[in-house]
Each structure stands twice: as C-alpha cells, then as structure tokens.
C-alpha cells in the first residue's frame, strides 16, 4: 500500500529557501547529465540520420573515414594531404585532415554579452551551435526546446568541439536567449558571412604584368618570381579554380567540406584572391608569392535565396584545417557579425602562432565593426585607391591596423579575362604576402605586426593610428631569395 502525504488546505504557503532552490537545480543538472547521453541512443541496426536526433560524428579525415559529412563533389587528390612538396594543384573533397592540437586545453572563454545584442546579424533561422557543450547542456536544450543534433564537429587542431543543432518551429534568437539562461557560454547563432567585394567593373585591358604598378606602390619586387619560397599560406574563400591558366604550376591544396544539404558556390572570387597570391610568371600574371604553397579552404555555399554565404561553423572548420595543415598566415576576405564559435577559433589559431589577416568590410564608415576583422586576434586591413585614398565603401574603426591596395585591381576572371574589382577583400592578399615574407626572412615578428612597433610605416591619415587607415601602409623591402 502506498500512502501519499497531502498538505492541509489551510496550511500557510512558505517561500522555498534559496539554498533549497539551488540544490534542486543542482539535482536537475545531475539527472540531465546522467540522461543526456541516453537521449541519443538509437536502436540496434538503425542507421543514424542527419537531423533525426542521432549523434553524428564528422571525422576530420585524418584517421580514416568521415562520420556523416560529405564533400561538394570537387574530387579527391588521393594523396596530397599534408605534403609540403606538392608541385601541382590538388583538391581535397570532403576530407579535413586537421592534426591534433597536442595536450588538452581548457575551453576558450566566450563573451556572454554578444548574444543579447539587439542586432543579431544575418544567421540561419533554424540552427544553433553549441561550443564544447556539456551533456547536461545538450540534454536541457533537447528536452526544453526540442532541438535536434545534426552533427558534431571535432576541430582537433584547435581543440574545440562544435555541435550543430536543428530548431523546429521556434526562433533562433529567442531559443538562444532561453538556453543562455541555463548555460550562457555555450550556445550561439549560426551566423552567415559574405565576401567583402563590390561588383566587378568592365573587363580590364590585358597587359604583361597587370598588378606590377600595385606591387611598386608598396615597395614589392615587380619580378617576384622567387617570393614565397618555403612558405605555407592559407585562404578562406570561395572555391579556387585549380585549372585556371594563371594558376598552372602553382602549389595549391584545396578543401571543400560541405554538408550534404549545402550546394557549392560557382564563383571566381577565390580564384582572383589565389592568383593575387600565387599567380604564376609563365601565365603573365605573377602573384605576390608565386613560390608559396597555398592552402585554400572553401566553406561557401548557395542559400535558397541565391546568395553565397559561409556560416560560422564552416569558418571555424576551415581555420582548423588550415592550422592543422601548417598554414603560417591565413587570409579571410569576408565579413559578417560577431560569433562566439568563430571567436574561439580565432583565439585558438593565434595561440598556435598563426597570423590571421581579415578584410575590414565594405559597410562604410558608419557601419558597425565587421568580423572577423574586428576581433583582436586578427590583423584588420582596409583598402586603398591608386591615389592612396581610402576605399569609399570601407568600414572604419579603432580595430583597423593597416591600409593596402584594394581598389580598381585587375583580377583574373573565370574565363581567363581580367576584371577590375574593388573591396577590402583585395587588400587581404597584399598584407598576407607582407606578413608571410617578413616572418620567413625574420625581418619582422608576429608581435610587431600586431603592435605596429619597430616597423617602418607610411602614415596616411591623422598622426599615429587612426580609424580610417590604422597605422597606415607598411614599408618593407623583401629579399625574396
């Protein structure tokens, strides 16, 4: 027989002491932590499905196999992964190959305040991300908001774990605020990022070395065929057309790692950036570092609206692959909102000694700071006109560090033609080249690039560092031997 104690109807209600409320919440956490792993157990013999509640582990490709993540069909070179001696362009479709970060490190600290901002920025309405989540946090999210786990990405080079969550019938921002009340340094929106360029101008007239004048304007050798030797650089951009005439003979390893529900972007922005860096002398478009090995991560995909975007998880995964492959300097010619997962990836990359260069953005002087450029772990670069005025659409702010050419640049197009393009995107490869060559020659160190100390600079604006030009135009004379 079971007896149930019933309170007297006339008994006065007493408030629950705070200590007991805390104990109750602690007990709930313990229960959720115990039940959390059980929430994703699937019946024996049933295959896990993306978005169906199964816990899917997406392998980086370094230890054989991929647990639920597919490439974009761009092909697999079958053996160029991690080979610094590659002499021709290669493609790595669907595989990550990022290395281990070594000893386990504490999770990167996240800024809790950004999620409460009134302007959440462009993001996917039906997804959230969880960074290094506990079992209790995932169980709470599943039970209280009905989210489903799409996949889990282990970013080994950065020592981060990111879980991608699907929402059903609820708003991402409202759900995020609800989850933040439970654990405010775990969940984030799935923000979106666009390349930082303006529409291309009419086709430029073909010349023998189209960017020679821009090289001269920064003191770079016009005959730069030997620049970039024994250097590994990376970009996060749209896919590079490896068969483009200007890139024949270049050392390029590309990575396309998109989810099955994402469509790859056919765009020549990444090809234009790659040619500015490693364009080959024999094709008449000699880049800034033609002897360097270029790692090209392509996380951009096509939205149902037709726009080309990369999401925060794709950017973090790209950084992880580039760091794991040994990139020393990485260029990010893109812009978007602040994101906690991207913040953590940038901080981990910098802790590994990698320098990330980011485009200031093209929102204009009144725009809010764009990310990743506004993050202190990056070198933000703005664009100059040939007359050394600032690009009229460039974003401004106290985070700007340097100013380099980025307006009316003759860049390669998909059909082998030249197009004049403008945007802070195109200033990025110039700074990537400067940083990489100076680090290789040991003429400047990474701390000097971040502090602006002990280096020659052409001040272009108000004396000292200013929000338009930063410290100005770096003055270095590479030897390129």
Domain at 345, CATH number: 3.40.50.200
The token duo for 155 is 């970013």
Active site (annotated) includes residue 320: no
Query: Quick one: pLDDT at residue 119?
Result: 60
User: Residue for token digits 């765009």?
Assistant: 267
Let me know: does 298 contact 252? Beta carbons within 8 Å.
Answer: no
Is 168 within the bounds of a domain?
no
Specify whether the backbone of 110 is left (phi greater than 0), alpha (psi in -120 to 50) or beta. Answer: beta
Is 338 within the bounds of a domain?
yes
Q: Which of 123, 244, 269, 399 is catalytic?
A: 269
Query: Quick one: pLDDT at residue 101?
Result: 34
Element containing residue 151 per DSSP (H, E): strand 148-155
Cα separation, 427 vs 429, whole angstroms? 6
Query: Quick one: pLDDT at residue 197?
Result: 87
DSSP assignments along 287-346, one per residue = -S-TTSEEEEE---EE-TTS-EEEEHHHHHHHHHHHHHTT-SEEEE-EEB---HHHHHHH
DSSP secondary-structure letter at 112? S
Is 110 within the bounds of a domain?
no
Is 327 within the bounds of a domain?
yes
Strand partners, 302: 263, 308
Q: Are strands 232-236 and 329-332 parallel, antiparallel or unpaired?
A: parallel
Active site (annotated) includes residue 237: yes
> Which residues constitute the domain of residue 464?
194-474
Closest CA relative to residue 344, chosen from 160, 104, 153, 115 = 160
Q: Which of 60, 237, 311, 343 is catalytic?
A: 237
Cα separation, 465 vs 461, whole angstroms? 8
Is 154 within the bounds of a domain?
no
Cα separation, 141 vs 155, whole angstroms? 22
Query: Quick one: pLDDT at residue 403?
Result: 98
Is 293 within the bounds of a domain?
yes
DSSP assignments along 330-387, one per residue = EEE-EEB---HHHHHHHHHHHHTT-EEEEE--SS-TTSPPPBTTTSTTEEEEEEE-TT
Active site (annotated) includes residue 88: no
Closest CA relative to residue 246, chosen from 300, 209, 219 = 209
Reading the chain (481 residues) residue by residue, the pLDDT tens digits are: 333 334 444 444 444 444 434 344 444 444 444 333 333 323 333 332 223 222 222 222 333 333 333 333 333 233 333 333 333 445 444 433 333 333 333 333 333 323 333 368 999 999 999 999 999 999 999 999 999 999 999 999 999 999 999 999 999 999 999 999 998 889 999 999 999 888 877 766 666 899 999 999 999 999 999 999 999 999 999 999 999 999 999 999 999 888 888 888 878 999 999 999 999 999 899 999 999 999 999 999 999 999 999 999 999 999 999 999 999 999 999 999 999 999 999 999 999 999 999 999 999 999 999 999 999 999 999 999 999 999 999 999 999 999 999 999 999 987 778 999 999 999 999 999 999 999 999 999 999 999 999 999 999 999 999 999 999 999 999 999 9
Cα separation, 120 vs 313, whole angstroms? 16
DSSP secondary-structure letter at 251? E
Q: Indicate the SS3 state at residue 179.
A: helix
Query: Quick one: pLDDT at residue 41?
Result: 28
Write down the pTM of the prediction. 0.78
Is 75 within the bounds of a domain?
no
Let me know: does 277 contact 233? Beta carbons within 8 Å.
Answer: yes
Q: Which of 224, 425, 436, 438 is catalytic?
A: 425
Is 150 within the bounds of a domain?
no
Contacts of 61 (CB under 8 A, 6+ apart): 81, 92, 94, 95, 96, 97
How far, CA to CA in Å, does 371 sit from each of 338, 381, 479?
A: 6, 12, 33
- The CA angle 184-186-187, to the nearest 5 degrees, is 90
The token duo for 313 is 């998880």
Q: Is the peptide bond before 394 cis (omega within 30 degrees of 0)?
A: no
Could you give the number of structural domains in the chain? 1
Query: Quick one: pLDDT at residue 235?
Result: 98
The token duo for 457 is 């600079």
Element containing residue 404 per DSSP (H, E): strand 400-405
Q: Indicate the SS3 state at residue 3.
A: coil
User: Residue for token digits 């974003």?
Assistant: 395
Q: 166-198 in b/e burial notation, b at 16+ Cβ within 10 A?
A: bbeeeebbebbeebbebbbbbbbbbbbbbbbbb
């Amino acid at each position: 027989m079971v007896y149930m104690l019933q309170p007297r109807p006339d008994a006065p209600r007493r408030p629950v002491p705070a200590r007991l409320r805390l104990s109750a919440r602690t007990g709930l956490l313990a229960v959720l932590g115990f039940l959390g792993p059980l929430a994703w157990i699937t019946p024996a013999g049933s295959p896990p499905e993306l978005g169906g509640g199964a816990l899917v582990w997406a392998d980086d490709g370094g230890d054989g196999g991929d647990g639920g993540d597919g490439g974009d069909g761009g092909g697999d070179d079958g053996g160029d992964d991690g080979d610094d001696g590659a002499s021709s362009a290669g493609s790595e479709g669907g595989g990550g190959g990022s290395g281990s970060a070594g000893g386990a490190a504490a999770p990167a600290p996240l800024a809790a305040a950004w999620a409460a901002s009134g302007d959440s920025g462009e993001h996917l309405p039906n997804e959230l991300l969880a960074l290094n989540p506990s079992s209790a946090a995932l169980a709470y999210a599943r039970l209280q908001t009905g989210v489903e786990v799409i996949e889990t990405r282990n970013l080994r080079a950065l020592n981060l774990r990111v879980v991608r969550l699907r929402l059903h019938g609820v708003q991402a921002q409202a759900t995020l605020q609800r989850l933040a009340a439970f654990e405010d340094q775990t969940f984030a929106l799935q923000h979106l990022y666009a390349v930082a360029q303006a529409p291309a101008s009419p086709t430029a007239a073909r010349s023998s070395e189209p960017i020679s004048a821009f090289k001269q304007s920064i003191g770079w050798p016009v005959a730069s065929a030997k620049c970039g030797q024994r250097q590994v650089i990376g970009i996060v951009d749209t896919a590079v057309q490896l068969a483009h005439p200007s890139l024949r003979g270049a050392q390029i390893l590309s990575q396309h790692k998109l989810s099955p529900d994402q469509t790859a972007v056919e765009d020549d922005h990444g090809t234009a950036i790659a040619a500015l860096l490693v364009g080959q002398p024999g094709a008449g478009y000699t880049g800034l570092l033609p002897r360097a090995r270029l790692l090209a991560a392509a996380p951009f995909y096509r939205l149902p609206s037709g726009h080309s975007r990369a999401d925060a998880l794709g950017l973090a995964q790209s950084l992880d692959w580039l760091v794991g492959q040994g990139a020393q300097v990485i260029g990010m010619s893109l812009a978007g909102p602040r994101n906690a997962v991207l913040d953590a990836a940038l901080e981990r990359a910098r802790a590994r000694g990698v320098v990330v260069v980011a485009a200031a953005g093209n929102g204009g002087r009144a725009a809010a700071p764009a990310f990743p450029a506004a993050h202190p772990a990056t070198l933000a670069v703005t664009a100059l006109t040939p007359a050394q005025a600032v690009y009229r659409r460039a974003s401004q702010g106290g985070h700007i560090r340097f100013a380099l050419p980025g307006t009316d640049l003759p860049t390669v197009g998909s059909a082998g033609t030249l197009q004049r393009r403008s945007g802070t995107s195109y200033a990025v490869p110039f700074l990537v080249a400067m940083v990489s060559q100076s680090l290789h020659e040991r003429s400047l160190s990474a701390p000097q690039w971040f502090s602006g100390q002990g280096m020659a600079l052409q001040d272009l604006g108000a004396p000292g560092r200013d929000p338009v030009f930063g410290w100005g135009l770096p003055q270095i004379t590479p030897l390129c031997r």
